Structure 1
């Protein structure tokens, strides 16, 4: 398994705009991505936003990163300061702590 952390700033005036312009258009297409184990959306609805992804394989993650969804997200004018990091998942320990099944 492989994991990613996206951190970013969303320059939108309120939570309703965040949902309408960011989560609503992208949640279902992301959920349909091959090999996605889970995605967690995180936000303080001020300036701090993040997403945490777990993928079945690194190849699945790489295919997602080369997808049209990521291209569209990268062009959003209100998405700023995007930083993406990825790591192999330590599966045995993550099962113990309920991070994966």
Structure 2
């Protein structure tokens, strides 16, 4: 699970670990300081896959791009199939734009 520093609580990490889910969540600076201050009793630092963490906001950025369409942002469509078609159309247009930008 990719997350930002707000999701770095012990309870969340324990919950994910119990279900066998790898947490890619950085440790906040204040927690790092507390751990260092405690010395050997502070425990080990949490592991962080830096490459995976860099891609954490890809879905958020795509969702923000989808919200630029008023119909998708406000959910004006009466039927789910029409809403889904608008999402697919938006994705196809974004994909084709990305392809045309490539050399």
Fold shared by both chains (TM-score > 0.5): no
**TM-score, normalization by structure 1:** 0.25
Q: Which structure is larger by alpha-carbon Rg, 1 or 2? A: 2
Q: TM-score, normalised by structure 2?
A: 0.25
